[in-house]
Structure 1
Amino acid sequence: MTSTILEKVSAHAAEAALLRRLYRTMAAVRRLDREAVALRGRGVLPRYSSVLGREAVQAGAVSALDAARDEAFPADDELGIAIAWGRDPADALASRRSRTGAGGLGGPVAHAVGWALGAKLDRTGGCALVGLGPGAGSSAEVREAIRTARAAALPVVFLSTSGRGESAVMPVLLVDGADAAAVHAATADALAQVRAGIGPLLIDAVLPGREAWPARDPLLLCERRLRETGTVGDAFFAQVADTSDALAEQVRGRLAAA
């Protein structure tokens, strides 16, 4: 059946709205990341690891979650997931203050799998999203958690950009890690499959090398696509920049004073 003009207009409006949402989140993460790197240099956040270049992966994946029933489990090194999921930026960064990890508390992968087991038993339809990068937990802990998720067909979407090898043990969706809208679409697809009961699934987001920038800078790529929708102009991007600067200043003040 041929799409009507109203359907096409609605789809265009939805795409533009998603891109605006993604751009706002990514711009905030990029600005907060720059601030956190500066605070690391001053000794305030000695354990902070930059998320530069991974903003599209983290914001795009979280944007596909259903806030009413799903849950995201960011590691300490996944500022973008924490911010996209609505965590307080200063609180998300506070764990990077100490020079050694807390230890003994279990990583986010184990927590995500435990939560997913509860969601399945309670039949909430909820899914867990968790990354497999640095800070996910010890190798043994991550392997055991993935084994449990597979054996019990738990509703977990794993997210990776590190090529750690888990792709061999569960279904995989490959996606361009520089394209936030593509990551969103891949995550939405993964969530639909996981909700249908296939068990855990891995999204493997392929990141461009820095030599590919600025053409493949995730933030600039999102900006270009958003401008192409014709729904925003320079004023939108200036407002986002001002808001991100104000947020970074607030976070800097809180962390430096603590």
Structure 2
Amino acid sequence: MPLTTLETVTVAPVGLPALLRRLYRTLATVRRIDAGARVLERRGDLLGYRSVSGREAVQVGSAAALDPARDLAFPAARDLGVAVTTGADASLALQSRLARAADGSPVTHAVAWALGAKLDRTGGVALVLLGPGSSAREIDEAMTTAAVSRLPVVFVGAAGSSRVQGMPVQLVDGADALAVHDATVRALDRARRGGGPSVVEPVLAEPGAWSGRDPLLVCEQLLRETGTVDDDFFAEAADTVDTLADAVLGRVRTARA
């Protein structure tokens, strides 16, 4: 079954610098927490941690598109970026890994919630990132249910053409948080209008080869191109990020003490 693409919508430049500043700060925070978590994992203080390095743009960009008053994200244990973006306690997100044998994506929960949102006519849309740990059968069944019932849910990740079930699929640069954000906004709007579920599929470089498309540097370049920030902004952002990350990692260390 051939993949289809959501209609192209030009994103208005109004508010773009503010959005890019938000994305950059969030990406930088996730990057800093991730680096600290890897140190804790090597010391044996954070068992089973899996780095999100290189995938920050996918998690941050998609979660930043949500309307917190109506929508709900269903992150897996590995989705640190979703926790940070939505304002959840990142230290709890890190510690939750210790109690899980696998970090599957809660696709069935997302689809069930989307059914409730449709029946209640809330205008809410479920967002779920497809990640390791979810079986092909689980994803197939969830997507089939969502497609048949035209449920308001957006799947983010490499679903595979055999699992699409006729849903629109938008391929997007997985290193570009703004591109992921805009694609997710279009998918959310489509679901809100009753168009049913769709897939945002980020294209990522092979592991170890993404340094040429570092999500943080990509966002920095886009932000600098707006002409609204200078080096002082990035210096201030680095200081703020360090403070936030130290607080999160400190809570993890205290909980493990």
Q: Same fold (TM over 0.5)?
A: yes
Matched AA of 1:101:
A
Query: Are residue 111 (structure 1) and residue 109 (structure 2) matched?
Result: yes
Shift, 1:235, TM fit:
1.5
Shift, 1:164, TM fit:
8.2
Query: Are residue 45 (structure 1) and residue 46 (structure 2) matched?
Result: yes
- Where 1:96 maps in the other structure, the secondary structure is helix
Structure-2 residue corresponding to 1:66? 67
**Structure 2 CA distance for partners of 1:77 and 1:169, relative to 1, 3 Å:** farther
Kindly provide the CA deviation profile for residues 110-133 of structure 1, in whole angstroms up to 9, marking residues without a partner as x: 111111011000001110000111
Using the alignment, how far apart are the partners of 1:39 and 1:94 within structure 2?
A: 11
Using the alignment, how far apart are the partners of 2:153 and 2:137 within structure 1?
A: 18
- Structure 1 contact 153–198 (Cα < 8 Å) conserved: yes
**Structure 2 CA distance for partners of 1:162 and 1:35, relative to 1, 3 Å:** farther
- Structure 1 contact 30–52 (Cα < 8 Å) conserved: yes
Gaps of 5+ in 2: 1-11
Matched AA of 1:218:
P
Among the aligned pairs, what percent are the same residue? 57
- Where 1:45 maps in the other structure, the secondary structure is coil
Superposition TM-score, scaled by structure 1 size: 0.87
Kindly provide the CA deviation profile for residues 213-232 of structure 1, in whole angstroms up to 9, marking residues without a partner as x: 23x11100100111111111
Structure-1 residue corresponding to 2:190? 193
| Stretch deviating more after TM superposition (247-256 or 117-126) | 247-256
Query: Are residue 253 (structure 1) and residue 254 (structure 2) matched?
Result: no
Query: Are residue 175 (structure 1) and residue 172 (structure 2) matched?
Result: yes
What is the number of residues matched between the two proteins? 243
- Where 1:95 maps in the other structure, the secondary structure is helix
Structure-2 residue corresponding to 1:154? 151
Matched AA of 1:121:
L
- Where 1:76 maps in the other structure, the secondary structure is coil
Shift, 1:204, TM fit:
0.5
Shift, 1:161, TM fit:
4.2
Shift, 1:81, TM fit:
1.2
- Structure 2 contact 105–129 (Cα < 8 Å) conserved: no
Using the alignment, how far apart are the partners of 1:164 and 1:66 within structure 2?
A: 28
Superposition TM-score, scaled by structure 2 size: 0.88
**Structure 2 CA distance for partners of 1:164 and 1:94, relative to 1, 3 Å:** farther
Kindly provide the CA deviation profile for residues 12-36 of structure 1, in whole angstroms up to 9, marking residues without a partner as x: 4511111001001100011111111
Gaps of 5+ in 1: 1-10
Structure-1 residue corresponding to 2:28? 27
Q: Which aligned pairs between 1:132-143 and structure 2 lie closer than 5 A?
A: 132-135=130-133, 137-143=134-140
Using the alignment, how far apart are the partners of 2:155 and 2:178 within structure 1?
A: 18
**Structure 2 CA distance for partners of 1:220 and 1:163, relative to 1, 3 Å:** farther
Structure-1 residue corresponding to 2:121? 123
Query: Are residue 101 (structure 1) and residue 101 (structure 2) matched?
Result: yes
Using the alignment, how far apart are the partners of 1:49 and 1:108 within structure 2?
A: 17
- Structure 2 contact 204–210 (Cα < 8 Å) conserved: no
Q: CA RMSD for the aligned pairs? A: 2.0
Using the alignment, how far apart are the partners of 1:171 and 1:183 within structure 2?
A: 15
Structure-1 residue corresponding to 2:226? 229
- Structure 1 contact 44–97 (Cα < 8 Å) conserved: no
Using the alignment, how far apart are the partners of 2:137 and 2:160 within structure 1?
A: 16
Using the alignment, how far apart are the partners of 1:127 and 1:203 within structure 2?
A: 14
Using the alignment, how far apart are the partners of 1:203 and 1:34 within structure 2?
A: 27
